[in-house]
Every structure is written in structure tokens, then in C-alpha cells.
Structure 1
């Protein structure tokens, strides 16, 4: 499935809650939730979908974005992700696909010295037409994907 088939159902403003998991921290700091807003728009004459979101941690406001598009006429989806807390200013480049049911999955890697590169996965699903969920997973170089972010939204 191509992203353009999802534009009408994804575009618009969304409100909800974002939960961040910092698995390296002790309880109760390991899991933190905040209010979150998401705006999904088409950009570049409908060739791309832009996901722009806000969230907070310890009283500090943060924001992030995901820009996604299809590669020509293929089913392959590409993306670039940036977040004011998760990154130092470098974009994470992602590749993935859109399932027939409409779930978007994108995967990328980032340097994590002294270890080999780690992975990062972003999935976007719509449980119902009025709900949107964005999940992010960190994938240690030698391990199983771990939940990093879960953002659950409803239409604003």
C-alpha cells in the first residue's frame, strides 16, 4: 500500500498522551507520561506526509517530527525523524513499508559507541478512524526491540 492511500484518514490534528520508557533508569523514573499533540499534513504537493508532535519531560517541552514518503511507484516507504530530546541534531534516516491494513513501519540505525550500531523502529497504526498510535522501539545491537515511546491520540 502507498502512503497516499492513507492521507485522508491520517491528516489533521490529534491530541493524546505520550509515554517515554527509559529502561536504564530505576523505578519510578523509568516510565514518564505527558500530554501530547500531533499534526499530520501533506507536504510537497501531496508527495509526503509530515507528522509533527509535542510532548514534555520533567517540565521541559519537546517536539519532534517524522517526514515520510514512498519511493517512486514502489511500496517502499522512506522517512526522516528528528526529536529535540532523543537526538543531537542529526536526522535518523528510515526505510520501511505500509502494510495492506495501513500500518506504517519504518526502521533505521544509529551509532551507539562503543557498541555496534543500534536500531530504531517507528510504527504508526490506526486502531479506529478516530484513533492514531505511534510506537517507537530501540533495538540494542544484540537484543530484542524494547519499547521506547508510545503515543496514543484521538482526533482533536
Structure 2
């Protein structure tokens, strides 16, 4: 019997890449508020689990920024019909009461990660800013989440970088 598209993706596609991230992770997060000016470096922990038979993963993390605790959650999936990664992101620091939706039409970056693009802002601050999140899978036991702020004029600057090792 032929495999469904999801079964095939879980066996050797994007969903296999995502479910390979499942587990407990520990690492260090660097944060920049100004281009090339490191503002903070703090420990971070994360738990990645599957949702709905491997259709999605939940990336739940806890850390601190300038001594103040925060936590966040990102639900990440791969949209088979449109061949793109997508995510929803909330946290207790960056997002306030907003939910950022991101997607990446470019698909896999090789077979070692992905990049997704969202935006954030507030009417009181003018045009929204972009936010690009990249996941780089170094190997089965090391991953790097990097995020970039993108100004309304299109200039990008590294905002956060978390290097994780599997616990």
C-alpha cells in the first residue's frame, strides 16, 4: 500500500527533520538590541515534543534576559501542499500580547534546517519590522536558532542566537 504524503515526509522528508529535534536541550542565548552590540548572554533550556502524530513540533524554552526570567513557545510545522515551513510564536518578553506567524517558502536549507519570516510591530511605532528565524542543524546533538530583526527599510541585524546541545 502506498504511503500518505505525511507518512513519506515522516520517513524521509521535512517532518523527519522536525521530529529529529525532539528531546531536551540546553544552551546559551546571545541577544543584541543594537547591530553588533552584544547586550546579554544567558543560559537557556528547551524541550521539543511532537504534536498530532508528528504533524508539528512544540519548541518550549525558558531562560533569562538581563537577569529577568522569560519563557516562550513556538509551534513549527511543514505545510506539505505549499512546501513551506510555518510557525506561530509567543513569549513573555519579545512578543507582548501578540502572536507572530512566520513561514518560509524557500523550504529546506539543504537538509540541515530552514528559515521562516514573520513581522511584528504596533501602530504607534509605524511600519512593522520583519523577523527572520533560522534553524541550523549542526548534527543530531547540536542545533542553532538565530533570529534577525529586519527594519522597514530592509536592513537586517542579528537579534538572538541560541546554541543548543542535546541533554
Fold-level similarity (TM above 0.5): yes
Matches within 5 A, 1:49-64: 49-64=57-72
Q: Note the residue ranges of structure 1 that are not aligned, 5 or more in a row.
A: none
Give 1:99 deviation, angstroms: 2.7
1:102 counterpart residue number: 112
- What's the C-alpha RMSD, in Å, of the aligned pairs? 1.9
- After TM superposition, give the deviation of residue 8 of structure 1 in Å: 4.2
Aligned length: 152
1:15 alignment partner in structure 2? 26
Contact conserved, 1:14 with 1:153, CA < 8 A, in 2? yes
Alpha-carbon distance between aligned partners in 2 of 1:148 and 1:60, rounded to the nearest angstrom: 17
2:146 equivalent among 110, 135, 142:
135
Unaligned ranges ≥5, structure 2: 1-8
Query: Which deviations, in whole Å up to 9, do the C-alpha atoms of 1:107-136 show, x marking residues without a partner?
Result: 011235443221001111111221010001
SS at 1:10's partner residue?
coil
Aligned to 2:52: 44
CA distance in 2, matches of 1:135, 1:23: 15
Separation of aligned partners in 2, 1:55 and 1:75: 32
Q: Which has the higher helix share?
A: 2
Q: 2: distance between equivalents of 1:101 and 1:72?
A: 16
Offset at 1:143?
Answer: 3.4
- 1:58 and 1:99 map into 2 onto residues whose CA distance is 32
